[in-house]
Amino acid sequence: MVTASFFGLSMLFCLIGYFLGNILFGLIISKIKKIDLRNVGSGNVGATNSLRAFGKIIGVSVMLFDMIKCWLSIFISVVLYHFIVPMFLSKDNSYLYEQNGFIIYLAGLFSVIGHCFPIFYIYALIKYKGDFNIAKKYSGGKGAASTAALLFSISPWIFVTAFCIFFIVVLTTRYVSLSSIIAVSLSCFLTLIPHLDYLYILNIPNLSIIDSIPNVNQAYNVVNIINYQNNWWYILSIFLILLFTSSIVVYRHKQNIIKLINKNESKIF
């Protein structure tokens, strides 16, 4: 029963993340501007191509909205986790509350998946029998901004470290794509560094709240939910989530990698 409940919650969080990830703000703005981003620049509907097509203000706005939708999917999952999980746990297995808390980040992972591979892309692949050349015009962004929001939700320190790596590479090379690839690729390994894994822990501050709806003030007590994480299972789970996320982002940058190798990739300035 408990295992099935956690599995059901995991599926729910994945659906929430994927649904919100399907909201492509770059595409929405391009519709308003009546300029199809897919026919401009790299053909991508993410923040970088929006910046090139519509300017800095719109480009930054798209980046922020792409971050917010990922963060929002995780926030919704946190709220649901806090209120639903205590209902099917007893004092004897209350440790499962913290041990399985990592499933909230599945929403962030699937938000990135939904952003990169929206439902219309999946439908096109099925309709055209796996023809990627036709389906790619229905694809989304490359997931860098959404991944940044996932990193921030997991750990402010890992986010800041990854951002510093991104910023240094941008200043050094002037390639946004290369900076994104390096920063995202290294981010998952940052979780393995002791005392850098400043993770949001889903502690139950008072076990007496089990069998009832938890008190909101208790559930969001900062002292109880933010701490250094020493649970190897939790760290490994976060590492795998970020490893899978970074793999998706790197895959979405495959054309940029080819251009970097051929030395014809566009520079940001």
Query: pLDDT in tens for each of the 269 residues of the chain?
Result: 678 888 999 999 999 999 999 999 999 999 898 888 888 877 788 888 898 888 889 999 999 999 999 999 999 998 898 888 878 777 667 667 777 888 999 999 999 999 999 999 999 999 988 888 888 888 899 999 999 999 998 888 889 999 999 999 999 999 989 999 999 999 999 888 876 655 554 444 433 333 333 444 444 444 344 455 567 787 888 899 999 999 999 999 999 999 999 989 888 77
CA-CA distance, 190 to 209, in Å (whole number)?
A: 34
**Count of all residues that appear for the chain in the document:** 269
pLDDT of residue 91: 66
Total domains in the fold of the chain: 1
CA-CA distance, 198 to 196, in Å (whole number)?
A: 6
Give domain status of residue 269, yes or no.
Answer: no
Among 196, 186, 173, 198, CA closest to 256: 173
Give domain status of residue 60, yes or no.
Answer: yes
Give domain status of residue 268, yes or no.
Answer: no
Tell me the pLDDT tens digit for each residue of 4-33. 888 999 999 999 999 999 999 999 999 898
The phi and psi torsions of 200 (rounded to 5 degrees) equal: -80, 110
pLDDT of residue 208: 36
**Residues of the domain holding 17:** 2-262
pLDDT of residue 73: 96
DSSP code at position 200: E
CA-CA distance, 144 to 161, in Å (whole number)?
A: 15
pLDDT of residue 228: 54
Give domain status of residue 247, yes or no.
Answer: yes
- Residue 253, SS3 per DSSP: coil
> Cα 151–156–160 angle (5° rounding)?
85
Give domain status of residue 200, yes or no.
Answer: yes
Tell me the pLDDT tens digit for each residue of 28-49. 999 898 888 888 877 788 888 8
Give domain status of residue 125, yes or no.
Answer: yes
pLDDT of residue 99: 75
> Considering just the CA atoms, what is the radius of gyration of the chain in Å?
20
Kindly report the pTM of this predicted structure. Answer: 0.86
Give domain status of residue 49, yes or no.
Answer: yes
pLDDT of residue 230: 64
Give domain status of residue 267, yes or no.
Answer: no
pLDDT of residue 233: 80
CA-CA distance, 142 to 48, in Å (whole number)?
A: 10
